[in-house]
Amino acid sequence: MRQTLPLMFATLALLSAACEKKPAPPPPAPTPTASGGPATDHAPILIGQVGSLTGSEATFGISARNGIAMAVQEANAAGGVKGRPLAVRVYDSQGRPEEAAQAATRLITQDKVVVLLGEAASSNSLAMAEKAQAAGVPMITPTSTNPAVTRKGDYIFRVCFIDPFQGRVMAKFAHDTLQFDRVAVLQDNKSAFSVGLSDEFRRAFTEREGQILATESYSKGDTDFRAQLTTFKKLKPQALFVPGYYTDVGIIARQARELGLTVPLLGGDGWESDRLFELSGGALEGSYYVNHYSLDNPDPRTQDFIARYKAAHGEAPDSVAALAYDAARMAIDAMKRAPDLSGAALRDALVATRDFPGVGGTINLDENRDAVKEAVILKVEGDQRRFVTTVKP
């Protein structure tokens, strides 16, 4: 595809940021105006992204970067925003909250971005949100589902559903559809995402008169889960609820099978990565998880996005890429509708978002600036995730 100069600018910004932990300081920026943009009339409007481009959860940041880049390229091809091109400045959080906070501060104070996109993990987004709210710069997280993220303040938004919803969805599916009434839970005690999802699943499952046999914990970075799994095996659960990230879930599944624990695993959207199949080595066969969208969704806009993403990257987009694409498009839509690019004007435009046509479903924002949208249940079959059902809010 032939690219214009603004697209090259955006691409170079992405590549340079992705290759370095802490990029060299950018050249001095034009003096900001009251509208939130540089004084130069045709200078690119900067969007900031913070993502885990390295570390154990690098697929999250890379997928998000790809989705955001696609949205920006499309906007630039259509003429940009207010007569100006868009560009993205990307910093690597390495999957660490302290790095995410530092990157957000740099994007706000040095790069003068008008909006922040990221992070994927809730713990990292919580660290970013404090900086964005204090500076009055809108932030949209694609995939952070912990309710506490948007509670940081009125400049914080998300395009994904929240943990209480997906916890209820999986509890209902496990009890009503799979007919399970005895489940054990293994959570990451250092992950806001994992603990929040575990709390809601257990609450919703017991409300349906299901029994939580035991709740065990681990910490991010652990590699041996045999003690917890041995405890579970003695209790004979019908399933294990493991609300972690794919990096842990794959190993947990392998070790469960090694110990003869053959029941299905159940989880949330943190499972979503093609690496899940590699890490689990087939041990997750017949397991289920909640997700934001499905490759099998026949919606024309979803299939169009999938086709264009495949053409650009040689692989199908995961839900992180899809949600990051939606987050960037929502930010761009707000820029077009806002009277200027000040933080307050963009915040007000985002608040007014209604029936936004996302590739993961139509998005509306509630009073907490959380997305109200449907969820899907996917089943692991071989190295594929298969659509099972859709659950509406």
Question: Peptide bond preceding 119: is omega within 30 degrees of 0, i.e. cis?
Answer: yes
CA 292 to chain centre: 9
* 77 assigned to some structural domain: yes
Whether 379 is in a domain gets the answer: no
Dihedral sign computed on CA atoms, order 7, 8, 13, 19? positive
- CB atoms < 10 A from the CB of 56, how many? 16
> Is 12 a domain residue?
yes
Task: Identify the pLDDT of residue 378.
Answer: 96
Distance CA 278, CA 175 (A): 29
- pLDDT, residue 220, reads 87
What's the confidence (pLDDT) of residue 91? 98
Identify whether 378 is part of a domain: no
Dist. CA 376–CA 198, nearest whole Å: 18
Instruction: State both tokens at 378.
Output: 């996917």
Task: Check whether residue 139 and residue 10 sit in a common domain.
Answer: yes
244 half-sphere exposure, CB direction, 13 A CA radius: 28
Write down the pLDDT at residue 8. Answer: 34
Domain ranges, residue 9? 5-161+299-373
**In a shared domain, residues 9 and 96:** yes
- Are residues 219 and 259 located together in one domain of the fold? yes
Numbers of helices and strands, H then E, in the chain: 12, 15
Residues 21 and 128 both lie in one domain: yes
Are 157 and 17 in a shared domain?
A: yes
Taking the CA atoms of residue 286, residue 290, residue 295 and residue 297 in that order, the dihedral angle to the nearest 10 degrees is 110
Do residue 153 and residue 9 come from a single domain?
A: yes
Q: Is residue 388 part of a domain?
A: no
Q: Do 113 and 191 have their domain in common?
A: no
Sign of CA dihedral 338, 144, 58, 101: positive
Token pair belonging to 157: 């938004």
**The token pair that represents 267 in the structure block:** 């989880």
CATH of the domain at 222: 3.40.50.2300
Give me the number of domains the chain comprises.
Answer: 2
Asked if 76 and 194 sit in the same domain, the reply is no
Q: How far apart are CA 172 and CA 392, in angstroms?
A: 12
Residue 387, in any domain of the structure: no
Residues 19 and 77 in one domain: yes
pLDDT of residue 32: 38
Decide if 381 is inside a domain: no
Residue 2 burial class via C-beta count within 10 angstroms: exposed 0-12, middle 13-18, buried 19 and up: exposed
Read off the pTM. 0.78
The beta-strand segments (E) located in the chain are 45-51, 86-92, 115-117, 139-141, 156-158, 182-188, 211-218, 239-241, 265-267, 288-291, 356-358, 361-365, 371-372, 375-381, 384-391
Same domain (yes/no): 10, 151: yes
With a CB cutoff of 8 Å and minimum separation 6, the contacts of 28 are none
Q: Is residue 71 located within the same domain as residue 197?
A: no
In a domain, 380, yes or no: no
pLDDT at 34: 33
Nearest to 46, CA basis, from 62, 30, 23: 30
Are residues 9 and 156 part of one domain? Answer: yes
Q: What is the pLDDT of residue 304?
A: 96
- Give the pLDDT of the chain (393 residues) as one tens digit per residue: 333 333 333 433 433 333 344 443 443 433 333 334 444 578 999 999 999 999 988 999 999 999 999 999 999 999 999 999 999 999 999 999 999 999 999 999 999 999 999 999 999 999 999 999 999 999 999 999 899 999 999 999 999 999 889 999 999 999 999 999 999 999 999 988 899 899 999 999 999 999 999 999 999 889 999 999 999 999 999 999 999 999 999 999 999 999 999 999 999 999 988 899 999 999 999 999 999 989 988 889 999 999 999 999 999 999 999 999 999 999 999 999 999 999 999 999 999 999 999 998 899 999 999 999 989 999 999 989 999 998 887
